[in-house]
């Protein structure tokens, strides 16, 4: 699990990946990886898929979040808690 946390922190600054949103959410809510996985109802593979996934596009935020929730195996409403408060992704 420590490797996953290091990986998430390494890619957290990438503006197009979920890692930054996940790390910020964990810090705000004082959650370690195990607590976050319990909260979302996912395993370590699901968490890895989540942190390495692309952020939802601003103009498709709901649809992209729903699709991401399906890919990682969590409820969309729980994932929305991480995504909804995010600063918009920079345009590339």
For range 46-55, the mean pLDDT: 93
User: Rounded CA gap, 45 and 25, in Å?
Assistant: 19
Provide the percentage of residues in the chain whose pLDDT is more than 90.
61
Is the predicted pLDDT of residue 8 greater than 70, yes or no? no
> Do the beta carbons of residue 79 and residue 65 sit within 8 Å?
yes
Q: pTM of the full predicted structure?
A: 0.81
CA distances from residue 86 to 2, 23, 43, 45, 74 in whole angstroms, order as listed: 25, 12, 23, 23, 19
pLDDT at 57 over 90: yes
Residues paired with residue 54 on neighbouring β-strands, in sequence order:
17
Residue 1 has pLDDT above 90, yes or no: no
Per-residue burial over 44-83, b = 16 or more CB atoms within 10 Å of its CB, e = otherwise = eebbbbbbbbebbeeeebeebbbebbeebebeeeebbebb
């Amino acid at each position: 699990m420590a490797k996953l946390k290091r990986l998430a922190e390494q890619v957290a600054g990438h503006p197009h990946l979920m890692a930054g949103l996940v790390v910020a959410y964990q810090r705000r809510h004082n959650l370690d990886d195990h607590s976050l996985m319990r909260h979302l109802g996912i395993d370590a593979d699901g968490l890895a898929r989540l942190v390495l996934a692309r952020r939802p596009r601003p103009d498709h935020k709901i649809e992209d979040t729903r699709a991401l929730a399906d890919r990682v195996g969590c409820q969309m409403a729980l994932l929305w808690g991480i995504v909804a408060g995010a600063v918009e992704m920079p345009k590339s």
